[in-house]
Amino acid sequence: MELCSKALEEMVTTAAAQILLIKAALKFQEVVALAFLNWGNVHICTARKRIPLEETARQEAYEWVKEKYSMAKEKYEEMLVIKPDFYKGLLARGQQQFEMAILQWTYASCKENGLSSWDSMDTMKLFDSAAEKTRAATEMLKKLRGKEREQAENPDNQEGRIAKE
């Protein structure tokens, strides 16, 4: 057993092994980020299915949907901590903010006083933040596509790039 450990230790310290370990770590990071993305998506999908059938249930439905959107927000934020350059995650977070803004706006318009007594500042901030996240995700995607093109054109340089990261 000791010989096996010693042999493995020598193998793990080689440059080729380091490249493989870095690739594995990046893949695990992506898998965990995808798990949080999908977990958040479950909350969003659940929230979209809640439709109040009667006026008295409107407040209850609003609070329930708002809670589901908040739960999705938590998962998306955890995902972005793990993988900040994950464009799909940033896009999902922006979509969550957009849907929360629509929820607030729709709820305010259904109230007795309607939109006339509604303070729209928080909703407008959500819309603005959603737009900003969508723009940032688009830029991330453009950079990713550029890197993919570069790698396709110069596949021999890929291992050197990974070793530097």
Q: Mean pLDDT across the stretch 130-158?
A: 90
Tens of pLDDT, residues 77-121? 999 999 999 999 999 999 999 999 999 998 888 877 778 878 899
Q: What is the DSSP letter of 51?
A: -
CATH code for 16-164?
1.25.40
pLDDT at 66: 93
Structure tokens at 8: 């493995």
Between helix 121-153 and helix 87-110 the angle, nearest 10°, is 160
Tally of CB atoms within 10 A around 129: 16
Name which of 105, 95, 107 is nearest 62 in CA terms: 107
Q: Report the pLDDT value the prediction gives residue 68, as an integer from 0 to 100.
A: 95
Tokens of 111: 């109230």
What is the model's pTM? 0.77
User: Contact at 8 Å (CB) between 86 and 33?
Assistant: yes
CA–CA separation, 34 and 82 (whole Å): 10
| 107 neighbors 58 (Cβ within 8 angstroms) | yes
3-state SS, residue 118: coil
Does the pLDDT of residue 129 top 60, yes or no? yes
Q: What SS3 state is found at 22? A: helix
Within 10 angstroms of residue 103's Cβ, the number of other Cβ atoms is 19
Instruction: Enter the tokens of residue 131.
Output: 């737009």
